[in-house]
Structure 1
Amino acid sequence: MALFDFLSPRRVLEIEAPEPNTPIEEVEFLAVDMETTGLKPKQHEIVSIGWVPVINNRVQLKDAHYVLIKGVDVGDSAIIHHLRDSDLEQGCELEEAIEMLTAALRGKALLAHFAPIETAFYSHACKKLWGKEPQLQVVDTFALERRHMERMSTFPRGEDLRLSRVRARYGLPNYRNHNALTDAIACAELYLAMAAHRPPQKLKDMQKNLQI
Structure 2
Amino acid sequence: MLSWLFNLDQKRKKLLEQAPEGPMKNFLGTEFPHRKLPIHDVPLLAMDFETTGLDANKDHLLSVGHVELLHEKLLLGSARHQIIRSNREMADENISIHHITHDQVADGMGLEKVVESILEALSGKVLLAHHAKVEIGFLQQACRRLYGMAPVLPAIDTMQIARKRLERLQQPIQANELRLFNLRSKYGLPPYRAHNALMDAIATGELFLAQLAHGSYSKSPPLKNFLLSP
TM-score normalised per structure 1: 0.91
Residues 26-45 of structure 1 show CA distances to partners (whole Å, capped at 9, x for unaligned) of 10100000000111111010
Identity, in percent, stands at: 37
Q: 1:66 aligns with which of 77, 81, 84?
A: 81
Tell me whether 1:174 sits opposite 2:200 in the alignment. no
Q: 1:26 aligns with which of 1, 19, 41?
A: 41
Following superposition, the deviation at residue 131 of structure 1 comes to: 1.1
Matched residue type, 2:78: D
Following superposition, the deviation at residue 109 of structure 1 comes to: 0.2
Q: Which moved more, 1:40-49 or 1:13-22?
A: 13-22
Who is 1:108 aligned against? Answer: 125
Tell me whether 1:138 sits opposite 2:155 in the alignment. yes
> Unaligned regions of 5+ residues in structure 2, if any?
1-19
Aligned-residue Cα RMSD (Å) equals 1.8
Who is 1:160 aligned against? Answer: 177
| Cα distance in 2 between the residues matched to 1:12 and 1:189 | 26
Query: Residues 23 and 120 of structure 2 are in contact (CA less than 8 Å); yes or no, is this contact kept in structure 1?
Result: no
| Cα distance in 2 between the residues matched to 1:157 and 1:15 | 40
Query: Residues 25 and 57 of structure 1 are in contact (CA less than 8 Å); yes or no, is this contact kept in structure 2?
Result: yes
Who is 1:56 aligned against? Answer: 71
Residues 57-91 of structure 1 show CA distances to partners (whole Å, capped at 9, x for unaligned) of 11011110001111243223223212121122331
> Unaligned regions of 5+ residues in structure 1, if any?
none
Moved over 6 A (4+): none
SS at match of 2:77: helix
**Alpha-carbon distance change, 121 to 148 in structure 1, aligned in 2, over 3 angstroms:** same
SS at match of 2:226: helix
Matched residue type, 1:134: P
Tell me whether 1:204 sits opposite 2:221 in the alignment. no
TM-score normalised per structure 2: 0.84
SS at match of 2:57: coil
Who is 1:188 aligned against? Answer: 205
| Cα distance in 1 between the residues matched to 2:136 and 2:163 | 19
| Cα distance in 2 between the residues matched to 1:156 and 1:79 | 29
Matched residue type, 1:7: G
Matched residue type, 2:59: H
What count of residue pairs does the alignment treat as equivalent? 207
